[in-house]
Amino acid sequence: MVDTKVDLCGITIDNPVIPASGTFGYGYEFAELYDINCLGTFSFKGTTLEPRFGNETPRIAECPAGMLNSVGLQNPGVDDVIREELPTLERVFHKPVMANVSGFSTDEYAEVIRRLDRSRMADMIGWYEVNISCPNVHGGGMSFGTDPKMAASVVKAVRWTTDKPIIIKLSPNVTDITEIAIACETEGADAVSLINTLMGMRFDLRTRKPILANVTGGLSGPAVFPVALRMVYQTAKAVRIPVIGMGGVSSAEDVLEMMMAGAAAVEVGAANLVDPYASQKIVRDLPETMKKFGIEAFPVV
């Protein structure tokens, strides 16, 4: 018998398969299709302090082996998440959930976590995943995730707000992602997750204009898997805290590659948008795939 359990920042989960933020809503939508308790956990939709409509449409563009998105963090805001989304989720998901948090200043990041952590729904949350790919509105618009000092400032701001594990979600749109990871670890991050999407664009040949209303968007899907795998491998060697790998994962074999690269758990993103049963299938296939390659338990040694 293989053992699919993994330890993620002191919390044991049944398997390392975690649907990624932005691809799984607030969970209950997928619970209409299958029992989502088969998952290790999932990272719910990126949540900000205030409600956000997101970017103008079109927001999605297809491309070979992937897709571009420019959704723009559309969400109802943290207060509505506490009041409406989490109570609905609680009825169908009976494990700790990962709360994905976004902000446009260090104060916003801290306030979102503070409200979640002091809410009546706080016991549902096992981890906070902090997306630092957002633009710093007080720092010229540069993404927090592209500069070690700015990344560290977010970790420093949120670290005092909760005793729960803080996972920093890193942007791949940097020269050396390990620098950012080390800066986050130094300021007290419990783990890092990577990679977020790579920047890209497409043109409509008929109109001769960009397909996306926002011009550029984030590339995800199988096309980014080798890049993500390389960054996970490098980061896992550079830090002592757990690394959660993601980027183009669409099969149990991909999960094993990520774990071999040093990941403690693996998030599944765009695959959920192509096939809503993708994460369920990966969980189903994982034990036999482990047996096939002689893996009895994690970490892979």
Q: Tell me which amino acid residue 140 is.
A: G
Contact status, residue 7 vs residue 264, Cβ threshold 8 Å: yes
CA distance 39 to 286: 12
- H or E element: which one contains 67? strand 66-69
- Phi first, then psi: give them for residue 224, nearest 5 degrees: -95, -5
**What token pair was written down for 92?**
């169908």
Q: Which residues of 111-125 are buried (b: 16+ CB within 10 A; e: fewer)?
A: bbbebbbebebeebb
- To the query of whether residue 184 is one of the catalytic residues in this protein, the response is no
Q: Which of 9, 38, 63, 134 is catalytic?
A: 134
Q: What is the DSSP string of 91-158?
A: TT--S-EEEEE--SSHHHHHHHHHHHHTSTTGGGEEEEEEETTSB-TTTTT-BGGGSHHHHHHHHHHH
CA 10 → CA 13, 22, 92, 290, distances in Å? 10, 25, 24, 23
The CB-based long-range contact list for 79-83 (8 Å cut-off, 24+ gap) reads: 79/115, 80/51, 81/26, 81/44, 81/47, 81/116, 82/115, 82/116, 82/119, 82/120, 82/121
**Active site amino acids:** 134
